[in-house]
Amino acid sequence: MKYHDSETAREVANRVQAFMDDVVLPREREALATGEQITDDEISELWEMAKERNLFAPQMPEEYGGQGLAFRDMLPSFEQVGRSLIGAISIRANAPDEGNMHTLELVGSEEQKKEWLRPLVQGEFSSGFSMTEPMQGGGSDPKMLGTTAKKDGDEWVINGHKWWTTGGKESDFLLVMARTDLDAHPYAGTSIILVPTDTDGVNIVRNISHLGGHDITEREFGHAEIKYENVRVPVENTVGEEGQGFQIAQMRLGGGRLTHCMRYSGMAERSLDIAKAYLSEREGFGEPLANKQALRHRIADAETKLHMARTGVRHAARELDQSEARIEVAMAKVFTANVTNEIIDLAVQCCGANGIGKDLPLAQFYENVRAFRIVDGADEVHRRSIARDAFEDIREEEINHVLRFDPDRRAESSTDE
């Protein structure tokens, strides 16, 4: 399928695809085949190769060591990195660092950029984003945010309990969402504060054991449970404007949802590639499995839905250039999340026991993609927004028709005609 991306976007995506095909996917397949994890040093080697190809940290300004690509020009490349378990990290576009870079670059102070952003881009630092809380039910209801930061002189004193802070255990610093004005609505009284991980009172309880979890990289990208107990950092560590935490997080999320959609679309595409290769190669009852129509037709439906998801994500991205595009993004996200789950499930089924085993990347894709219907707004949260929007737009004429057709009221209104 061809898409109507900008010329720059296509050119970059082609180069990212080549990097994946030539370098990253062979490395991933080798790791899967041998069962040996990819070391930090090997990741650094991939970064060097990405730099040579002008693909390293693609969305960061060149002054920090990135490629200075605009969101719209980078978007299709996320499909390409999504094809590999180590695609995003190989070009330093991996969560949560990529989002944190984006946030610091957008609203960070010069000081913060110098001290934290530059080494973060370079991969000298890693980072976490500490937002979700145990009692919050996925973070969808902002009123339930319980972590607070109180000013004490020129310091914030932070107390709270977070979890699912991705990369928190391995991080050098954390961006922490905290209520900074309890009298205000959370949308006006919440701030993001940068906390070096080695600050006193940052108590990393554990990495939460979760679905899946054998990474093929040595470095674990766990999700930390963290207690903040009287953690003190300078007031200057506020990231962006005080009280604007939710707005900054939304900004971060808006485009982020679409890049995630692209990454998972790439993952689904790769899964179909593997399934098709497997079905073509394997035989059963005297002919290649690929000849059998039942799975062929399900693959046709998978290709169709994946195509629709890609088209929908691009539509939302185009709208996002001009507006908040809240509903377009919600639709793209909930559709893509469900479609990619379904497709990866199908690919596992096509490969039978080989779909369950980890000599192929499918089982890990299957573990990873499940979270996508929950994070970045659970399906139910997006459906809620979409429905609210849809029900705002009820046509008066149809209401009249529904009423008019009610025999009693019809009698009354019939004089009008």
State which of positions 217-246 bind a copy of itself (CB under 8 A): 223, 225
Nearer to a copy of itself (CB atom), residue 235 or residue 327: 327
Interacting positions 124-143 with a copy of itself (CB under 8 A): 132, 134-135, 137-138, 140-141
Nearer to a copy of itself (CB atom), residue 21 or residue 218: 21
How far is 216 from 363, CA to CA, in rounded Å?
12
How far is 55 from 269, CA to CA, in rounded Å?
21
Residue 356 amino acid letter = I
Contact 178, 249 (CB under 8 A): no
Nearer to a copy of itself (CB atom), residue 92 or residue 270: 270
**Counting contacts by CB under 8 A, is residue 153 touching a copy of itself?**
no
**Counting contacts by CB under 8 A, is residue 377 touching a copy of itself?**
no
Query: Tokens standing for 38?
Result: 């990819």
Contact 96, 129 (CB under 8 A): yes
Q: Which residues pair with 245 in a beta bridge?
A: none
Interacting positions 24-43 with a copy of itself (CB under 8 A): 25-26, 29-30, 32-33, 35
Residue 71 amino acid letter = F
List 241, 281, 321, 324, residue binding a copy of itself (CB under 8 A): 281
Query: Tokens standing for 205?
Result: 């309880």
Helical packing angle, 293-320 and 245-281, nearest 10°: 160
Contact 176, 228 (CB under 8 A): yes
Nearer to a copy of itself (CB atom), residue 191 or residue 340: 340
How far is 344 from 342, CA to CA, in rounded Å?
6
**Counting contacts by CB under 8 A, is residue 208 touching a copy of itself?**
yes
Binding footprint of a copy of itself, residue count (CB under 8 A) = 119
Q: Would you give the binding string for a copy of itself spanning residues 286-325, x where CB under 8 A is met? A: ---xx-xxxxxx-xxx-xxx-xxx-xx--x--xx------
Interacting positions 322-341 with a copy of itself (CB under 8 A): 327-328, 331, 334-335
Nearer to a copy of itself (CB atom), residue 97 or residue 328: 328
Q: Which residues pair with 176 in a beta bridge?
A: 130, 193
Nearer to a copy of itself (CB atom), residue 13 or residue 299: 299
Phi, psi of 218 (to 5 degrees): -60, -45
List 183, 200, 209, 416, residue binding a copy of itself (CB under 8 A): 209
